[in-house]
């Protein structure tokens, strides 16, 4: 599996479980360096607006806010690019409005689905986290 697929899978499993999200979400990925040893992902989970509107109304905001989650992964990869070693995972949650807060935060990663794979699971109590893994 290419490095980018491994990182994307890590992000999907770390930031949120799509089956628990009831509204559409967006994410973007970007490299923090030219040598692809650090990658960041941002996920925005909108909170649907509870405002009652008429069937014929159009325009306006369809969400009342949301939470942006950022995950950064520092890693090294082998020459073939098919194996990585994650050295650090860090990031944060940022509610778009002070009306909202993040709770039940969870950060996790694993090395493989095979038996004997390494796993890290943490439950930060603040809106930011940083864990050295290497």
pLDDT in tens, 33-84: 434 467 777 787 777 666 555 555 555 545 557 788 888 888 887 777 667 7
Q: Report yes or no on 17 lying in a domain.
A: yes
Q: Report yes or no on 52 lying in a domain.
A: no
Residue 11 has pLDDT above 60, yes or no: no
Query: What pLDDT is recorded for position 28?
Result: 44
Supply the mean pLDDT for the chain. Answer: 67
Copy the structure tokens of residue 73. Answer: 């992964």
| Residue numbers of the domain that contains 14 | 3-47+61-132
4 neighbors 75 (Cβ within 8 angstroms): no
- pLDDT above 70 coverage of the chain, percent: 50
Q: Report yes or no on 18 lying in a domain.
A: yes
Query: What pLDDT is recorded for position 86?
Result: 81
Domain count, the chain: 1
Nearest Cα neighbor of 47 from 69, 25, 20, 18 is 25
The better pLDDT of the pair 123, 7 is held by: 123
Query: What pLDDT is recorded for position 49?
Result: 63
Q: Report yes or no on 75 lying in a domain.
A: yes
Q: Report yes or no on 56 lying in a domain.
A: no
Query: What pLDDT is recorded for position 52?
Result: 55
Query: What pLDDT is recorded for position 99?
Result: 78
Copy the structure tokens of residue 6. Answer: 């491994």
Copy the structure tokens of residue 132. Answer: 């050295």
pLDDT band at 130 (very low <50, low <70, confident <90, very high): very high
Q: Report yes or no on 26 lying in a domain.
A: yes
Radius of gyration, CA atoms only, the chain: 17
Query: What pLDDT is recorded for position 88?
Result: 87
């Amino acid at each position: 599996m290419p490095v980018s697929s491994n990182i994307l899978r890590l992000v999907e499993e770390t930031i949120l479980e799509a089956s628990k999200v009831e509204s559409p979400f967006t994410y973007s990925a970007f490299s923090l360096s030219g040598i692809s040893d650090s990658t960041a992902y941002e996920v925005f989970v909108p909170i649907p607006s509870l405002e009652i509107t008429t069937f014929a109304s159009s325009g306006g905001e369809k969400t009342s806010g949301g939470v942006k989650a950022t995950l950064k992964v520092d890693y090294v990869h082998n020459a073939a690019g098919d194996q990585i070693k994650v050295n650090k995972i860090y990031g944060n949650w940022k509610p778009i409005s002070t009306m909202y807060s993040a709770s039940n935060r969870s950060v996790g990663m694993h090395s493989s689905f095979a038996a004997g794979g390494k796993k890290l699971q943490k439950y930060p109590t603040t809106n930011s986290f940083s864990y050295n893994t290497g």
